[in-house]
Chain A
């Protein structure tokens, strides 16, 4: 190995293989030392000795030499160790960190922990707010549903249950006109009836009395909101039963007027009865919600 052509003088420093003045040991000696000494610039750009890169390339592409096995082995070990070390570093940074590094890492982690703690607090607060707002929302929902039910009872689109009276008007001669029934409804309303329906047993129809209910006379009965009711009439009203019944018996009131027409009136108080006829709401054709004024 030492008789290698390029290694005429083994370097004395084992670690540093490069003694100074490499030019004087190059085997291919410069043929014109005189001009090179006088004018250093031109020969430097037309060197006779092969350049470093050329030498390196030649060494790379040279036929394998048995003596290079050791070198290859060592370089391979270096590559292997470097890669393993780098990969190990990725796995655990802490294992071979020194104390001040550990302190630094610990500090950073603690700051990060503080930040995360703050974030947790903030998120918790947000969550609590959301929960309470959801609660408020559900309360509002319940209230809205309650209002909806009340409105539905008032509009007659939902059945209503409660204490009330049932007034049966048997009118065999069909003398009762719309005026009397209208008067009865009016009286019931003024006595606090909250839901009213009128049933004509003779024609087996019933009508829920709502805001737009109207009464007309008809042959053999009364026309209420477009439906003909024939006697016997059964008026069901939900409200305070005592008040409602008293309202029927005023002097010159509903009952006396009905009896003047030869109708027979029976009033029964109930602690629980149901108004189950529903009113079909029609889309208003002309009226629409007026814009709110600010």
Chain B
């Protein structure tokens, strides 16, 4: 209940507040969003499997975002930012696919 409301409130706030991404954060935002999406899908899967835990979700969410941002930051410092962010996106994308596949199996049993 509260997470769904939170998502709704967040989207509405993003739509109606005139906020733009700070310049220093701009390279990290897309990666962080994808990492957070991964955590969210993992959480949904956990809910469906009946093993959801608040603490685990919060920790995994924060850690995902921070690690993804850190990797991109490191990559930028090393001059391979583009490649590393691609790598992070690929890995996170695979994980999202896996999670969504599990969710699909749980929902449709197929």
Contact = CB atoms under 8 A, between A and B. Distances in A.
Interface string B1-45: 111111111110111000111010011011011001111101111
Contacts of A55: 47-50
A85 B29 contact: yes
Given A55-B47, A72-B5, A75-B7, A6 B27 contact: no
Contacts of A69: 2
A187 to B, nearest CB: 97
Interface residues of A, number: 64
Interface string A14-30: 11111100100111000
A74 B58 contact: yes
A78 interface: yes
Given A52-B106, A55-B48, A75 B56 contact: no
A7 interface: yes
**Contact-residue bracket for chain B:** 35 or more
A4 interface: yes
A11 B3 contact: no
Nearest to B81: A98
A73 interface: yes
A81 B29 contact: yes
B53 A52 contact: no
Interface of B: 1-11, 13-15, 19-21, 23, 26-27, 29-30, 32-33, 36-40, 42-64, 81-82, 95, 99, 102-103, 105-107, 109
Interface of A: 1-2, 4, 6-11, 13-19, 22, 25-27, 44-45, 47, 49-53, 55-56, 59-65, 67-85, 87-88, 91, 95-96, 98-100
